[in-house]
């Protein structure tokens, strides 16, 4: 979507709502900005904003208005978890819960989209082989090379070569960047935990 336009809207909302003291809706604006941060490959910022929004939701009784709000929240959490791991997610959420309202608002005001070329991946142009696609899906699920090798009945060295080719095709250098680029390009869906 138009994340830049959305973030500009959330910035305006935060100023107006902060002046009015409507903190429940401020939480919604922080949540929306967090979704943009996740899409922009800023997982730590996304998690901090989600943590700050959680505090406001708890304090002022806010809920997800639509089922799509809950789904978007879960998707953002999954993207962040895939990029920085479970412990990184927990740490960043906790940091966000400790932010003052002014600090959380400042996070939104300094947000900027990544350089267009930094994460732009054209799904059709990537050209992953079937095996590379299988490796990528397991990589996104957080599996280490040894576990990927066992799952696909390959040697660890073969998996390492597949991972290196995936990095080259996505134009990235790290596993977390590969996860973010693959999710952003729609090559894979993040693993979103189901809630009952």
Q: Evaluate whether 170 touches 126 at the Cβ level (below 8 Å).
A: yes
Give yes or no: residues 75 and 138 share one domain: no
Give yes or no: residues 98 and 137 share one domain: no
Q: In 3-state terms, what secondary structure has residue 167?
A: helix
- How many domains, the chain? 2
Q: In 3-state terms, what secondary structure has residue 66?
A: coil
The whole-angstrom separation of Cα 33 and Cα 165 is 33
Last residue of a domain, one of 113, 143, 159: 113
- The pLDDT value recorded for residue 27 is 82
* 94 is a domain residue: yes
Last residue of a domain, one of 81, 113, 145: 113
Last residue of a domain, one of 78, 94, 113: 113
- The pLDDT value recorded for residue 135 is 93
- The pLDDT value recorded for residue 99 is 87
Query: pLDDT digit of tens for each residue in the chain (196 aa)?
Result: 577 788 888 888 887 776 677 677 788 888 889 988 888 888 999 999 999 999 988 887 766 555 557 787 888 888 888 888 899 999 999 999 998 887 888 888 878 777 643 444 555 567 888 899 899 988 877 789 999 999 999 999 999 999 999 989 888 888 877 877 777 677 776 554 434 3
* 195 is a domain residue: no
Give yes or no: residues 12 and 109 share one domain: yes
* 190 is a domain residue: no
Give yes or no: residues 35 and 102 share one domain: yes
145: domain CATH number is 1.10.10.10
Task: For 156-187, give one letter per residue: b (16+ CB within 10 A) or e.
Answer: eebbeebbeebbebbebeebbbbbbbbbbbeb
What is the domain extent for residue 46? 3-113
Give yes or no: residues 100 and 63 share one domain: yes
């Amino acid at each position: 979507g138009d994340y830049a336009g959305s973030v500009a809207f959330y910035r305006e909302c935060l100023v107006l709502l902060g002046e009015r003291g409507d903190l429940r809706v401020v939480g919604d604006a922080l949540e929306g900005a967090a979704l943009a941060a996740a899409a922009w490959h800023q997982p730590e910022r996304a998690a901090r904003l989600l943590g700050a929004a959680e505090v406001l939701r708890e304090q002022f009784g806010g809920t997800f208005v639509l089922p799509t709000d809950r789904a978007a929240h879960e998707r953002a959490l999954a993207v962040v978890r895939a990029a920085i791991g479970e412990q990184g997610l927990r740490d960043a959420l906790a940091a966000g819960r400790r932010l003052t309202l002014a600090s959380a608002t400042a996070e939104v005001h300094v947000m900027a989209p990544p350089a267009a070329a930094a994460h732009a991946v054209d799904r059709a142009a990537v050209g992953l082989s079937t095996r590379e696609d299988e490796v990528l899906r397991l990589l996104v699920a957080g599996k280490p090379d040894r576990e990927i090798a066992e799952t696909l009945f390959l040697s660890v060295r073969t998996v390492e070569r597949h991972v290196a080719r995936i990095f080259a095709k996505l134009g990235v250098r790290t596993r977390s960047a590969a996860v973010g680029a693959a999710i952003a390009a729609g090559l894979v869906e993040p693993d979103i935990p189901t809630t009952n």
